[in-house]
Amino acid sequence: MKLKKNRKQPLLAPRLMRTLSRPRKRALTYDQLVNSIILPGEDRSALKQQLGKLLSRGFIAASGTKRGASYITGTIQGNRRGFAFLKPDLSGREDIYIKARHLRGAVHRDRVLVRLGKNSRGRREEGEVTSILKRGSNRLVGTLERKGRRCYVVPDERCLPQAVEVSARDLKGTYSGEKVAVKIDHWGEAGQKIQGRVVEKLGPADSIQAHQKSIRYKFNLPGEFPKEVIKELKSLPGEDRIGEIAREQGRRDLRDLFTVTIDGETARDFDDAISLEKGPAPGRYQLGVHIADVSFYIREGGPLDKEAYNRGCSIYLVDRALPMLPPLLSEQLCSLQAGKERLALTVLMDINQEGKLFGYRYFPSVIKVKQRLTYRQVQSYLENSGYSRGREKIMERISNMDRLAGALRERRLQRGALDLDLPEAEIKLDRRGYPISIERRNQGRAESLIEEFMILCNEAIAAHFNQKKLPGLYRAHGVPEEEKIKAFKEAISFLGYQLPGKPGQITQHQLNQLLARSKGQKEERLLKYLLLRSLAQARYSAANEGHFGLASPCYTHFTAPIRRYPDLMVHRLLSEYGLAANISAKRRSFLQSRLPEIARHSSERERLAMEAERADEDLAKALYMENKIGEEFSGIISGITNFGMFVELENTVEGMIPLSDLDDDYYVYMEKQASLIGKRRRKIYRMGDEVRVRVERTSRRDGNITFSLVK
């Protein structure tokens, strides 16, 4: 984009982005925008060019001429019953309810512009789609059905309200009941048929392979890397040139520094290494966090950069990983493998044994990791079960790291960081990719050690951007919505817990006090889940908005550039600014207009990755429980709705007991009490109650598991 050259006048792009980003009740007219942006003597053509670019990308939309209307953009969260909710782009806004007739052809994951209606008393705010800015996907997966000459596909996604009509011409060799992938040709308007064509047969609807393939189509996951990317890879300097590059660039030589990586057993992409040396003063340390210098290999605007941006992040499914970067980079040139010279960006932090940070500095370096450790190894060192002669030196370092990490964690909790460590499912597969065991995995001291060091490093880099007032990317986590905290307070009151204070004034310290009261109790895990659902979703932002969950005034993502595009971008910016933090006015203007788009796109890709990983895990759990049908388990009630209750087992598997299957009484759903109450016998089921269940059936289609209550 070429702006009018005039060194004495402020550049147009930052003013335009600031004006359009401000919350407002009504859409701006073109004349109002001109009056807000254009200074005397400036040409309007540059403004028109930028507006046209934003319109084409779907960041703004022409909203019509209806006076007095308020507009908002966001992403559609569909529902099979026809209605939907809008997840607003604007942080802190409550979801908007949209009736089926007001969707105007918009479906799940579409980005849209919505006109807000007047609030109905006691009801959720409603809206009406006025334009579709960007389709979430033009592909879906479903089961083929034939009725006479008509053929249609029933989508697996419960958020899509209707079947897709397909042409019989594309169905040679395809039979009814087979799972297929469909490309949408015509979405249709409200009430019209969605039309598409079958692009791939995935196999019998009940086959594991078909369901695993369907995850890729459902979420439009990336496949092979394009030819242009492979071509650029061939031009990159090889491993044998790393030492030469380090000398040419004058990088700090840290190859003799004792650095280690600590990761999972099966990890192959090592983003980060750590070192800890005693400082000159008693009780002082020099903590080193060394991050793979991915930005050296990826040229801004090149094929590799564009592909990494489009992918946004690596996606980790149960049986495979879909990397953001090709294996040559993610598993070789950039991966901090033990015994290999690697280019890195190093952050050295001066810190005392109480976890107080006195200063930091960052610089490009060349390192050689001395040892690759796993979480289990470190845990065994800390428990002294891994002791052996000749390992005293590494055990002493690990012990010092553990004490320092503990001090850092204690300081975080004291300032109000939420203690929300939740267990994860550890799923083991056989050679066929079939799940053979599912266990609950809690975070140990080894994982906590790495987490604390990475948090400290991310805060230091974020503070650097913020203090120098440099364009950057931040990790934002907003204050929770008042309505969600109100609902949370009501839900926990029926578990016997109280949260004092007004919902709009809740602090992290109050929440931590609540969590401390539940520690060791049967409700502890459920309380954490309920709180997590009440908090805002973390996202990326070009502005520093703070991080509520970490109680951090300034936070970013810097430590995983192999796996996350925002981290790569932060590396690029740090390298570009240098220690002098110099940046031209033209470059600043470009970044201020570009970074909000990168933040929004990265947040979208992250959410999609999380959805795909969750769907894949649900499928694995359903497959595992197929062999448990008829068996009984103990669990706790993790959720209650008007159609049944959810029960979570000790191994993290969750299933539902349909309300219609509770046949010993007529149960009434009490929303505020989050409970089911029998009308005759007054039997009450509440969240947190322990129950005994039997596995009745599982569904490969949607990963659902159905339980029955053992009386």
Instruction: Check which CATH number belongs to the domain holding 197 and give it.
Output: 2.40.50.700
The answer to whether residues 336 and 409 belong to one domain is yes
Report CA Rg, the chain: 27
* 4: pLDDT strictly greater than 50: no
**Taking 90 as the threshold, does the pLDDT of residue 401 lie above it?**
yes
Same domain, 495 and 450: no
pLDDT surpassing 70 at residue 385: no
Average pLDDT for residues 650-675, to the nearest whole number? 88
Contact 404, 288 (CB under 8 A): no
> Which of 218, 245, 280 is the last residue in one of the domains?
218
Residues 345 and 447 in one domain: yes
pLDDT digits (tens, 9 = 90+) for 302-329: 999 999 999 999 999 998 899 999 999 9
Structural domain contains residue 623? no
Residue that finishes a domain, picked among 134, 155, 177? 134
The domain of 583 spans 227-478+540-617
**What type of residue sits at position 422?**
L
Quick one: pLDDT at residue 27?
A: 63
Mean pLDDT for all residues in the chain:
86
Compute the C-alpha angle 501/506/511, nearest 5°: 100
663 or 260, which is more confident?
Answer: 260
Kindly report which listed range (292-296, 559-563, 565-569, 701-705) carries the lowest average pLDDT score.
701-705
Say if CB 242 and CB 250 are below 8 A apart: no
CATH value at residue 641: 2.40.50.140
User: How many angstroms separate the CA atoms of 252 and 534, rounded?
Assistant: 46
Length of the chain: 711
Q: Work out the number of other CB atoms within 10 angstroms of the CB of residue 210.
A: 21
pLDDT(26) > 70: no
pLDDT of residue 92: 59
Report how far residue 50's alpha carbon sits from residue 15's, in angstroms, rounded to the nearest whole number.
Answer: 12
Residue 544 φ then ψ, to 5°: -75, 110
Rounded Cα distance between 171 and 192, Å, is: 23
Q: What percent of the chain has pLDDT over 70?
A: 88
Residue 148 burial (CB count, 10 A): 5
Q: Is residue 7 in a domain? A: no
Q: Enter the DSSP assignment of 193.
A: P
Q: By percentage, how much of the chain surpasses pLDDT 90? A: 47
Within a 10 A sphere around the Cβ of 665, how many other Cβ atoms?
Answer: 14
Categorize the per-residue pLDDT at 206 as very low, low, confident or very high, splitting at 50, 70 and 90: confident
Has residue 489 been placed in a domain? yes
| Pairwise CA distance, residues 251 & 130, whole Å | 54
Each residue of 72-91: pLDDT tens digit? 888 888 876 778 888 887 66
Query: H helices then E strands: how many in the chain?
Result: 16, 31
> How confident is the model over 42-63, as pLDDT tens digits?
666 777 777 766 665 556 655 5
Q: Do 317 and 424 share a domain, yes or no? A: yes
| pLDDT, average across residues 586-599 | 91
User: Looking at the predicted structure, is the pLDDT value of residue 410 above 90?
Assistant: yes
Q: How far apart are CA 210 and CA 144, in angstroms?
A: 13
Q: Are residues 231 and 350 in the same domain?
A: yes
Contact yes or no for 596/328 (Cβ under 8 A): no
Tokens representing residue 11 in the block:
């550049």
Residue 318 lies inside a defined structural domain of this protein:
yes
Per residue in 166-178, pLDDT tens? 887 778 777 888 8
> What is the pLDDT at residue 7?
38
pLDDT of residue 569 exceeding 80: yes
Q: Which pLDDT belongs to residue 328? A: 96
Q: Residues 413-430: pLDDT tens digits?
A: 999 999 888 888 999 999
In a domain, 666, yes or no: yes
Query: Of 275, 470, 487, which is closest to residue 369 (Cα–Cα)?
Result: 275
pLDDT of 522 reads 80
Residue 199 belongs to a domain: yes
pLDDT digits 0-9 by tens, 455-477: 999 999 999 999 999 999 999 99
**Least confident segment among 49-63, 263-277, 694-708:** 49-63
Residue 461 and residue 342 share a domain: yes
Q: Which residue has the higher pLDDT, 146 or 325?
A: 325
Q: Are residues 357 and 271 in the same domain?
A: yes
In a domain, 429, yes or no: yes
Rounded Cα distance, 213 and 181, in Å? 9
Q: Provide the 8-state DSSP code for 10.
A: P
Q: What is the mean pLDDT of residues 147-166?
A: 81
From the list 218, 87, 90, the residue with the least C-alpha distance to 153 is 218
Amino acid at the residue 409: R
Do residue 299 and residue 275 come from a single domain? yes
Looking at 491, 520, 535, the residue that finishes a domain is 535
**What's the confidence (pLDDT) of residue 62?**
58
Between residues 43 and 155, the one the model is more confident about: 155
Are the C-beta atoms of residues 577 and 467 closer than 8 Å to each other? no
Most trustworthy range by pLDDT among 265-269, 442-446, 520-524, 544-548? 544-548
Residue 130, phi-psi category: left (phi > 0), alpha (psi -120 to 50), beta (remainder)? alpha
Residue 286 and residue 390 in one domain: yes
Q: How far apart are CA 244 and CA 200, in angstroms?
A: 48
> Based on the domain organization, do 385 and 442 belong to the same domain?
yes
Secondary structure element (H or E) that encloses residue 677, with its range: strand 675-678
- Whether residue 1 lies inside any domain: the answer is no
Total domains present in the chain:
6
* CA distance linking residue 490 with residue 265, whole number of Å: 42
Mean pLDDT of 504-516: 90
Residues 6 or more apart whose Cβ sits within 8 Å of residue 682: none
Residue 640's beta-bridge partner residues? 645
DSSP 195-244: EEEEEEEEEETT-HHHHHHHHHHHTT---SPPHHHHHHHHTS--GGGHHH
Same domain, 292 and 394: yes
Task: Give backbone dihedrals phi and psi of 542, rounded to 5 degrees, phi first.
Answer: -85, -5
> Which pLDDT band, with edges at 50, 70 and 90, does 279 fall under?
confident
Q: Quick one: pLDDT at residue 641?
A: 87
80-89, 248-257, 473-482, 525-534, range with the lowest pLDDT: 80-89
Helix axes 585-626, 565-577, angle to 10 degrees: 160
- For residue 246, how many other CB atoms are within 10 A of its CB? 22
Q: Do residues 407 and 395 share a domain?
A: yes
Q: Which of 215, 98, 226, 248 is nearest to 161 (CA)?
A: 98
Task: With cut-offs at 50, 70 and 90, classify the pLDDT of residue 504.
Answer: confident
